Amino acid sequence: MSKNGLSHEYEVGVEYFLQFALRNANNPNAMPCPCAKCGNLKTKDIDTIRAHLCCNGIDLTYHTWIWHGERSKFENSMNDGDRVGQDERKYFTEEPISMVHGAYDSYAKNPNQFHKLLEDAEKPLYPGCVKFTKLSALVKLYNSKAKYSWSDKSFTDLLGLFGQMLPDDNELPLTLYDAKKSLCALGMDYVKIHACPNDCILYRKEYEDFTNCPICGMSRWKLGKNSTIIGGVPAKVLWYFPPIPRFQRWFQQKVISKELTWHADKRIRDGYLHHPADAPSWKVVDHNWPNFASEPRNLRLAISADVMNPHSLMSSAYSCWPIVMITYNLPPSLCMKRKFMMLTLLISGPKQPGNDIDVYLAPLIDDLKFLWDNGVDTYDAYRKEMFSLRAVLLWTINDFPAYGNMSGCIVKGYHACPICGEETYSTRLKHSRKIVYTGHRRFLPTSLPYRRQKKAFNRNQEFKLAPKPLTGYEVLERVERINYRLGKMSGKIKSNVGDEKSCWKKKSIFFELEYWKHLHFDMFLM
């Protein structure tokens, strides 16, 4: 199967391989596909695997058939001289962390990849070098590329220049392609998910093999001149960076693993707010789910979303939505550092998702539900033990327009205040044609003299009390009856209740999280 993909020998090799795999497969209808594109990460039926091998070729790094023949144990593939402890060996022999999500542990799947990573981590950059190994030098250079926004071409030229400056027998890759192949062993993979250009669906799960959107009928593929379909080029792509493997790698580092329990081990408890663990929202989770709170390593998360222009041009029509995840288990000096702010989703333009952002949040919500319901087996390098890691999403962080897209609350018009809701004091100015919001004296103490003044305000006294924020249950009750169809071309139906004064326009996807309705309403306003 290493022959030319168009040769007769390759065709014979494919058929021999498929028959061999069928004889040894646990499930003949769902076998790992070893083509260059799937790389044994996706399961397919035998006909699809045959088509993939003919079109994409076989993954050339797949030399030992442990996924289609006899399953060899990882311990047997390790030499006696390997400097890996028994606990680490147990971790790397674990089954894939989530068959539901299609996420495989790359080290358990491919022991040779782990050996290659160890070799690169120990091999000097050049003979006699004591400051850098091949891996550490490459990681530092790649971090600088990301930090200073170097182009791919400039980075390739820089690697070539450094290669000429170093001794002839150095280990530094000379091209960006070679550098990426070395860094892939770290397992920092991403998933490209095709999306409908009208934001109706993602081509995943039941829609994975569709070529047209079942809602609006738009083609999955990009349209060229004269509206001809360019096969293989998606019209819109979501970039998803699964957070679960990165959480597991945090705990594999002793220093970070220790810091992830700072809120339980070193936090000062004097009644003042020093950390999010002192906030009511954190305590709600501790009170309602004591089993979750009993494990301090369980993660408390937040996500931040906002639009950005990657080209730094105010007039550009292109937009990009990064979704960043923050972990609050860390001390305050670290939890907002760039190193621990994790990019999970990248929603590319040119159209902004708007209220249809729920379509793109679906993969992340699936992972969050899995972390809450099941947890993942994780190795703690600091305590040298395995434990089941779980996580909870406490709130989202947005500006006001993005808050409206994420929560489903109206943020403009006569009922734009998330706290006041239908009781918002608003007036439309006749000449400027703008809406202004008054009635803020309701939030002042009742004894304050400002409440009785007329001339300085709207010529009326204010004796009403401030409205109470809604609870999560009350919000869910209001949005349950809203009929909102996702997609730009789906013909919006806001509500079938007949309440024109409702300040809610959709049910947020966050309510798919079991615990979301139990959280305080003010969490939606972060």
Residues 6+ apart with CB under 8 A from 33: 40, 42, 43, 44, 48, 49, 52
Q: Which of 311, 399, 406, 324 is nearest to 350 (CA)?
A: 311
DSSP conformation class of 103: B
Residues 13 and 151 placed together within one structural domain of the fold: no
Examine the domain organization and report whether 283 and 216 are in the same domain: no
Degrees, nearest 5: CA angle 465-467-468 = 120
Report the distance separating Cα 465 and Cα 423, nearest Å: 11
Q: Are residues 173 and 207 in the same domain?
A: no
- 220, 203 Cβ separation under 8 angstroms: yes
Residue 452 domain-assigned? no
Domain end, chosen from 404, 439, 456, is at 404
pLDDT at residue 101 in the model: 32
In a domain, 196, yes or no: yes
Verify that 288 and 358 share a domain, yes or no: yes
Residue 243 sits in the same domain as residue 339: yes
**262 and 379, same domain (yes or no):** yes
In a domain, 15, yes or no: yes
Indicate if 277 and 222 belong to the same structural domain. Answer: no
- In a domain, residue 434? The reply is no
Calpha distance 500→318 (Å, rounded)? 34
Query: Same structural domain for residues 119 and 230?
Result: no
In a domain, 9, yes or no: yes
Place of tokens 């300040």: 503
Q: Which domain holds residue 267?
A: 236-404
- Residue where one domain finishes, among candidates 124, 158, 186: 186
From first to last of the 526 residues of the chain, give the pLDDT tens digit: 667 766 777 888 888 888 888 877 777 788 888 888 887 778 888 888 888 888 788 877 676 565 676 443 333 333 333 333 333 333 333 333 232 333 334 444 455 665 666 677 778 888 888 888 888 888 888 888 877 888 888 988 988 888 888 888 888 888 888 887 777 666 557 889 999 999 999 999 999 889 899 988 889 998 887 778 877 788 899 999 999 988 998 998 889 999 999 999 888 888 888 888 988 889 999 999 999 999 999 999 999 988 877 666 555 667 788 999 999 999 998 988 888 899 999 998 778 888 899 999 999 999 999 999 999 999 998 998 999 999 999 999 988 888 888 888 888 888 888 888 888 888 888 888 899 888 888 899 988 899 999 888 888 888 888 888 888 888 888 888 888 888 887 555 544 444 556 788 889 999 999 999 988 765 444 4
Residue 265 forms part of a structural domain: yes
Shared-domain flag, residues 249 and 306: yes
Please count the other Cβ atoms lying within 10 Å of the Cβ belonging to residue 208: 11
pTM for the predicted model, two decimal places: 0.70
In 3-state terms, what secondary structure has residue 152? helix
Please report whether residue 487 resides in a domain: no
Q: Are 149 and 212 part of one and the same domain?
A: no
User: Do 266 and 216 belong together in one domain?
Assistant: no
Domain count, the chain: 4
What is the per-residue burial (b if ≥16 Cβ within 10 Å, else e) of 273-312?
eebbbbeebbebbeeebeebbeeebbbbbbbbbebeeeee
243 and 141 in a single domain? The answer is no
* Contact criterion met (CB below 8 Å) for 361 and 236: no
Do the domain assignments include residue 450? no
Last residue of a domain, one of 384, 404, 424: 404
